[in-house]
C-alpha cells in the first residue's frame, strides 16, 4: 500500500463502500439489484462519501461554559454523592445562597458523569446541560453530582455501580430511584435543592420514600438538553426540595423554552412565575429591614379556596392499606384550606402501566441502545461526545449493562424481529386516548390525588434474594407514577405522614402546564401538616 493511500485512509471519515458491501446489503434487504444497478450505486455512493467527508472536516460548535470550575473529586465516604465539586454561579438571582445537587445523568462540563453505570465510567462532558446553566445564572452553587441508578433504570436504589443508596429513615431500606442520591442528600440537609430525572417515577418515588417534595413537571416545560435520555416521549427533568416553596423556586429557574435545542419542547410554551417579589412592600419604606427586603412572596401561597380535588379511586387499588389510609386522610384535610374533596373514578388508570410498557421497552431500545442515546428524526442539539462514549460502551461491553436493561434489549429485539413497531405504535395511540381521559376528569377537578407509590420503602435486597425476586424490586412500585410520564401531566409527591416510621407520599396531578395549581395544592397541605399559618 502506498504512503499516499495510507494517508488518505487515515484522514477519511468513513471507509468507501465496496461493490461487495452493496451486494451483501442488497441480499440482506432483499432488494434484488441487477449487476448494472449495483455498479451505478457504487459510483453514486462514491460521491455521497464526499459529503460525509466534508461533515467530518467541519467543526461543530460546542456550547459556551460560562462559569469557571475545577474537576472536583470522587466521593468515597457518602454513597449518595458520585462526584463532589464546587461551582459558583452569578452573584445574584433566585437561587442566591442555595446549594444544589445535580443528578448524575445531567452533564456538567469538566465533571465526570457516570449515569450510575460502569458503561460510562471515565466520561467527562464538555458542556453544561441547559438546566445547569440556568441554575448558575440564578446564583445557585453546585456542590456535586448525586448518585443515580444504573442507566437510571430502576425505581429502587441498589443498582448503581457505585453501590446502594440507603434510606435515611431506615438504612435497611431503599431511598427509591432512580434519583436516589438527590433524595437522600435533601432529607439529610446536605444540599438545599436538587435536580432529578423522571421516566417512570424517578423523581416522585424517591421523594415519596424520603419524605421530601419532588415534581415531575408538565412534559416539555423544562428543557432536557444535555441530559442522558431514555425514551424521548417519556423523558422529564425537574426539581426536588424539602419544601414546596424551594421546589417552586427551582422550577421557575429551570423552566422555559430552550431555543429549539430540545425536541420535547414547543415554541409557544409559556409559564407563570411560581414565585415573586412583593415590589410594593419593598418600596413602602426606606427603613424596611434587610431581612424583609430579601423576603420572597410565593404565588404557591395564594391558597386553594374553591379548588376541586378528586381522589382517584383506581389510584388507591393495590396500595398498602396503611399508606392508602394516610394519603386519603391527608387529602381530606385540604377541606380546611377551602377546597372541595370528593372521589372520582377512571377505570383506564388500571391499564396505565400496561400501556406505558411497550413504549418504555421498545423506545428505550431504539433510542438509548441502538441510537446511542440520541437516535434519529429530531431537530436540536446532539451531544456528540456522549454519543461516542455510549457507542464505544455498547459496542465493546454490552455485558456491563444492568440486568433490567438487558431484559429490555432482549425483549425489544424479539418484538422488533417478529412484530416490528406494531405494539409501540398502538401503545402511543392508546396514550393519546389515556391523555384525553385524564383531561376529561381534570375539566371537573383542578387536581387529582392518589398515593405516589404502591407501598412504603422496600427492603434492600441481600444475597439471599433470588435474581427473580430482586428484579421485582426494580419496577414494582410504579403503578401510579408511570402513567403520567406517558401522558405528560404534571405530578408532584409530597409527604403525607409516617407509617411505621416511614414516609408516605401523596401524589398530586394537574392539568397540562398548570404546574402552579399542583404546587399550590401541595403548599396548602404542607401548611396544614406543619401547622403553619
Residue 458 DSSP one-character state: P
User: Residue 214's beta-bridge partner residues?
Assistant: 240, 493
Report whether 360 contacts 474 (CB < 8 A): no
Question: How far apart are the C-alpha atoms of 524 and 492, rounded to whole Å?
Answer: 13
Question: How far apart are the C-alpha atoms of 481 and 352, rounded to whole Å?
Answer: 9
- Residue 484 exposed, middle or buried by CB count within 10 Å (0-12, 13-18, 19+): buried
Residue 328 has, within 13 A of its CA and on its CB side, a CA count of 16
515 C-beta neighbours (distance < 10 Å), count: 29
* Strand order across the beta sheet in which 73-74 lies: 73-74, 81-88, 141-146, 99-103, 193-198, 236-241, 213-216, 491-499, 502-510, 447-451, 308-312, 340-344
**Which one is catalytic: 98, 103, 190, 456?**
103
382 φ/ψ angles, rounded to the nearest 5 degrees: -95, 135
Strands 491-499 vs 502-510: parallel, antiparallel or unpaired: antiparallel
Which one, of 179, 126, 525, 469, lies nearest residue 336 by Cα?
525
Question: How far apart are the C-alpha atoms of 400 and 423, rounded to whole Å?
Answer: 28
Q: Catalytic residue at 103?
A: yes
Question: How far apart are the C-alpha atoms of 211 and 192, rounded to whole Å?
Answer: 15
Q: Catalytic residue at 335?
A: no
3-state secondary structure 413-432: HHHHHHHCCHHHHHHHHHHH
3-state SS class at 169: coil
- Cis omega (within 30 of 0) on the bond before 178? yes
Who contacts 489 (Cβ-Cβ below 8 Å, separation ≥6)? 218, 435, 438, 442, 509, 510, 511, 512
Name the region of 114 (left: φ>0; alpha: ψ -120 to 50; beta: rest): alpha
Residues 248-265: b if buried by 16+ CB within 10 A, e if exposed: bbbbbbbbbbbeebbbbb
**Which one is catalytic: 79, 107, 162, 178?**
178
Cell of 256: 422555559
Question: How far apart are the C-alpha atoms of 166 and 183, rounded to whole Å?
Answer: 10
E strand or H helix at 507: strand 502-510
Q: Which residues are catalytic?
A: 103, 178, 202
Amino acid at each position: 500500500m502506498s504512503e499516499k493511500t495510507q494517508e488518505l485512509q487515515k484522514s477519511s471519515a468513513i471507509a468507501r463502500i465496496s461493490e461487495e458491501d452493496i451486494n451483501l446489503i442488497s441480499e440482506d434487504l432483499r432488494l434484488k439489484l441487477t449487476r448494472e444497478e449495483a455498479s451505478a450505486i457504487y459510483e453514486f455512493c462514491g460521491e455521497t462519501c464526499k459529503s460525509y467527508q466534508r461533515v467530518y472536516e467541519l467543526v461543530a460548535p460546542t456550547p459556551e461554559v460560562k462559569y469557571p470550575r475545577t474537576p472536583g473529586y470522587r466521593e468515597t465516604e457518602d454513597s449518595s454523592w458520585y462526584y463532589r465539586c464546587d461551582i459558583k454561579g452569578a452573584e445574584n438571582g433566585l437561587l442566591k445562597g442555595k446549594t444544589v445537587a445535580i443528578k448524575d445523568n445531567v452533564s456538567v462540563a469538566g465533571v465526570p458523569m457516570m449515569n450510575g453505570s460502569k458503561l460510562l465510567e471515565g466520561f467527562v462532558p464538555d458542556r453544561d446541560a441547559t438546566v445547569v446553566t440556568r441554575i448558575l445564572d440564578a446564583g445557585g452553587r453546585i456542590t456535586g453530582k448525586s448518585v443515580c441508578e444504573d442507566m437510571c433504570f430502576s425505581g429502587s436504589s441498589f443498582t448503581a455501580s457505585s453501590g446502594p443508596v440507603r434510606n435515611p429513615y431506615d438504612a435497611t431500606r431503599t431511598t427509591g430511584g432512580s434519583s436516589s442520591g438527590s433524595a437522600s442528600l435533601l432529607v439529610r440537609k446536605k444540599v438545599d435543592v436538587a435536580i432529578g430525572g423522571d421516566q417512570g417515577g424517578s423523581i416522585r418515588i424517591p421523594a415519596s420514600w424520603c419524605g421530601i417534595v419532588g415534581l415531575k413537571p408538565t412534559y416539555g416545560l423544562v428543557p432536557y438538553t444535555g441530559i442522558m435520555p431514555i425514551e424521548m416521549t417519556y423523558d422529564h427533568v425537574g426539581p426536588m426540595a424539602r419544601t414546596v416553596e424551594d421546589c417552586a423556586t427551582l422550577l421557575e429557574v429551570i423552566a422555559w423554552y430552550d431555543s429549539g435545542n430540545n425536541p420535547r419542547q414547543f415554541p409557544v410554551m409559556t409559564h407563570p412565575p411560581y414565585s415573586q417579589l412583593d415590589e410594593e412592600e419593598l418600596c413602602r419604606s426606606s427603613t424596611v429591614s434587610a431581612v424583609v427586603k430579601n423576603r420572597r412572596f410565593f404565588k404557591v401561597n395564594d391558597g386553594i379556596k374553591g379548588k376541586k380535588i378528586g381522589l382517584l379511586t383506581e389510584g388507591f387499588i393495590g396500595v398498602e392499606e396503611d399508606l392508602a389510609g394516610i394519603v386519603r386522610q391527608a387529602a381530606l384535610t385540604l377541606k380546611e384550606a377551602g377546597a372541595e374533596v370528593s372521589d372520582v373514578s377512571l377505570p383506564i388508570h388500571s391499564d396505565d402501566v400496561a400501556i406505558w410498557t411497550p413504549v418504555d421497552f421498545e423506545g428505550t431500545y431504539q433510542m438509548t441502545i441502538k441510537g446511542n442515546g440520541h437516535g434519529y428524526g429530531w431537530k436540536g442539539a446532539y451531544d456528540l461526545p456522549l454519543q461516542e462514549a455510549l457507542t464505544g460502551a455498547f459496542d465493546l461491553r454490552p455485558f456491563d449493562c444492568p440486568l433490567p436493561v438487558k431484559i429490555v434489549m432482549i425483549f425489544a429485539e424479539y418484538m422488533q424481529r417478529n412484530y416490528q413497531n406494531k405494539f409501540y405504535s398502538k401503545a402511543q395511540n392508546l396514550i393519546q386516548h389515556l391523555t384525553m381521559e385524564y383531561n376529561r376528569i381534570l375539566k371537573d377537578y383542578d387536581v387529582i390525588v392518589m398515593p405516589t407509590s404502591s407501598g412504603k420503602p422496600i427492603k434492600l435486597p441481600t444475597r439471599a434474594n433470588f435474581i427473580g425476586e430482586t428484579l421485582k424490586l426494580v419496577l414494582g412500585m410504579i403503578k401510579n407514577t408511570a402513567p403520567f410520564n406517558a401522558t405528560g401531566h404534571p405530578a408532584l409527591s409530597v409527604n403525607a405522614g409516617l407509617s411505621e416510621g416511614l414516609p408516605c407520599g401523596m401524589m398530586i396531578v394537574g392539568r397540562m402546564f398548570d404546574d402552579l395549581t399542583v404546587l399550590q395544592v401541595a403548599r396548602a397541605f404542607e401548611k396544614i401538616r406543619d401547622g403553619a399559618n
